[in-house]
């Protein structure tokens, strides 16, 4: 059975529904929220764009790439396995299979762009319909669980600071946070979760999108896009509202109407250079925020570089 399709906003940009609500541009609204004009950055001349898949964002310099994430995850697994083996246990990492991953951070950031894809899949990008297969829970003996997590209390988060460790298992002391905590510390992780993008990085990435969505330059091109859509028989205030139309969530594959609306959406984007304008404004906000958070982001970059060097040393 295929899973229920995700709203375009969640495919386009993880958690964007939350961003929209915080920014005052809930999908039920017909226009964006207000933007403080005193803080609006100037944007470079908008390039003519039919797609943004190959376009990068300034904040990506402070984010993990997919390869870097894989490198860190592999190092974490190796360190956990070594630690568990020290206690006489085996450990196998379990990963979900079939997770949909965009080709880049910008592939769906501004909605759908591929005319050929939407003509078939509508607002459900090819591959996003696949069912995620979650691994079966690994059953460990109580002692092995304690060694891995640093606690025998089910109410304490594995690997967290509350998982004090110190238990004697097979003649050895469990480290603080168990093998999870030890592996994270050896790789310079800042929390029990391991290696996610820093909060300041996430904030810049989400805030720039929300600010650009509300920016008068982007709202102006949305008005043109909306007029173009109306000429084709479809009434939507902006591209994200078209993609998040609740009727698209009722089917696991695109209906003829969804295909038609998505095709019109892409055509109107191209006609009015929605992508070029929106992307350039988004980038301008990111550059402004990066400058405002330079010290914190420099620390993030140093920590990221250090973590990758540590990961490279793990055999």
Render each residue's pLDDT in the chain as its tens digit; 315 residues. 344 555 566 666 543 433 443 344 444 444 444 445 446 788 778 999 999 999 999 999 999 999 999 999 999 999 999 999 999 999 888 776 667 788 999 999 999 999 999 999 999 998 777 666 677 777 889 999 999 999 999 889 888 889 899 999 999 999 999 999 999 999 998 665 667 899 999 999 999 999 999 999 999 999 999 999 999 999 999 999 999 999 999 999 999 999 999 999 999 999 999 999 999 999 999 999 999 999 999 999 999 999 999 999 996
**Residue 251 pLDDT:** 93
Q: Which one, of 7, 24, 2, 1, lies nearest residue 207 by Cα?
A: 24
**Residue 97 pLDDT:** 66
CB atoms within 10 A of CB 161: 13
Report the predicted TM-score, pTM, of the whole model to 2 decimal places: 0.83
* Residue ranges of domains in the chain: 8-25+56-312
């Amino acid at each position: 059975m295929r899973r229920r399709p995700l709203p375009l906003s969640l495919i386009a940009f993880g958690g964007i529904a939350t961003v929209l609500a915080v920014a005052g541009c809930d999908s039920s609204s017909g226009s964006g929220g207000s933007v403080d004009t005193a803080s609006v950055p100037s944007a470079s001349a908008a390039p003519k764009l039919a797609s943004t898949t190959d376009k990068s964002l300034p904040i990506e310099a402070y984010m993990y790439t997919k390869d870097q994430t894989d490198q860190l995850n592999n190092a974490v697994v190796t360190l956990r396995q070594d630690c568990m083996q020290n206690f006489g246990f085996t450990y196998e990492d379990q990963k979900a299979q079939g997770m949909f991953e965009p080709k880049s951070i910008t592939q769906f950031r501004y909605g759908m762009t591929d005319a050929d894809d939407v003509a078939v899949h509508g607002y459900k990008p090819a591959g996003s319909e696949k069912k995620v297969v979650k691994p079966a829970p690994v059953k460990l003996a109580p002692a092995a669980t304690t060694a891995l997590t640093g606690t025998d209390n089910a109410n304490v988060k594995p690997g967290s600071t509350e998982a004090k460790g110190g238990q004697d298992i097979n003649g050895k002391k469990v480290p603080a946070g168990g093998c999870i905590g030890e592996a994270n510390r050896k790789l310079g992780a800042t929390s029990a979760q391991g290696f996610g993008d820093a909060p300041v990085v996430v904030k810049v990435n989400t805030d720039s999108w929300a600010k650009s969505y509300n920016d008068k330059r982007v709202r102006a091109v949305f008005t043109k896009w909306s007029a173009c859509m109306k000429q084709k028989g479809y009434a939507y205030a902006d591209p994200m509202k078209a993609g998040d139309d609740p009727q698209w969530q009722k089917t696991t594959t695109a209906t003829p109407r969804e295909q038609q609306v998505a095709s019109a959406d892409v055509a109107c984007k191209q006609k009015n250079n929605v992508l070029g304008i929106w992307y350039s404004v988004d980038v301008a906000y990111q550059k402004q925020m990066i400058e405002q958070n330079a010290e914190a982001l420099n620390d993030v970059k140093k920590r990221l570089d250090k973590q990758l060097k540590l990961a490279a040393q793990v055999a």
